[in-house]
Amino acid sequence: MSYLSLSDPTTHEFIEKWCAQEDYDYALKFKKKQRQEQSLAGRCLVRMLYSCFWATTECDLKIIVGENGEPLIRSHLQSMPLWVSISHSNDFVCAVLSDHCPVGVDSEYIKANRDITTLVHKLYSSFKGSEISAYKFWTLNEAYGKAKGVGVDFSQADSIYQAISLAYDSGNSYSFRTIMIGDYVTSVYCL
C-alpha cells in the first residue's frame, strides 16, 4: 500500500510525472476539482506501485473494469491482470496492488463532529465498540466490499465480523490489516 496527500506540493509533481493522458481524461468525468485531483492521485499511485512491483519505468498499463466491477490492471508485462484498489478521504489518497488475490482498501478521516458509532450501529445493530472501533469496522467493511467487487454492503457485516474473528482465532485465509495514518483509519482486505 502507498499513499499521497493532496496538500503536499510534491504530489502534483508525481501526478505530472506518472499520469497518462487517459488518467486526465478519466478525471474529467468528475465535476469537482478536489474529486478530479483525488482521481489523478489514485491513478498516479497505481502507476508508481506497478512500476515498483515490476521494477520498471515503463507504465503502459491500462486500468480496466472486471466482470464484478472491480478495477484491474492490464499490461504487456504480465499475462494475468493485477487487482487494484484506490481510496480517498479529504486530501488523503491511498492505493494497493495485488498479483495473487482480489484486494480492497478504504480510508476514512476521523471527524470530530461525526457520530460514526451511531451510524455503524444503525447499519449493523450487533456492533458494540468505541469510535475508533467503529471507524475500523467501517473501513474494513468497505475494503471487503471492494475486494469482492460489490461495494459497501452491510448485509454482509455478520460475515465480515465472523471472518475477522476466524482470522484471529484460526489463521483463516482472509488477510486484512487496519492501521492509523495520522487522522485517518485505513483498512486493506485481501480475499
The C-alpha angle 8, 186, 71, rounded to 5 degrees, equals 90
For residue 44, which amino acid is it?
A: C
**Residue of 73 and 77 predicted with greater confidence:** 73
**Residue of 175 and 187 predicted with greater confidence:** 187
Quick: pLDDT tens for 120-174: 888 787 777 889 988 988 898 889 888 888 777 667 677 666 665 555 544 555 6
Cα–Cα distance for residue pair 29/94, rounded to 1 Å: 20
pLDDT of residue 12: 92
pLDDT of residue 128: 79
Contact between 86 and 71 (Cβ < 8 Å): yes
| Phi, psi for residue 92 in degrees, rounded to 5 | -100, 130
- Nearest to residue 102, comparing CAs of 163, 189, 187, 42? 189
Task: Report the CATH number at residue 46.
Answer: 3.90.470.20
pTM given for the model? 0.86
- State the total domains in the chain: 1
Range of the domain at 40: 2-190
**Residue of 46 and 70 predicted with greater confidence:** 46
Q: Cβ neighbours of residue 47 under 8 Å, at least 6 residues apart?
A: 18, 19, 20, 23, 59, 61
- Per-residue pLDDT for 88 more than 80? yes
pLDDT of residue 89: 94
How far lies 186's CA from each of 2, 106, 110, 140, 142, in Å? 11, 6, 11, 8, 10
- For the chain, the distance separating the N- and C-terminal CA atoms, rounded to the nearest angstrom, is 16
Q: How many C-beta neighbours within 10 Å does residue 70 have?
A: 21
pLDDT of residue 140: 87
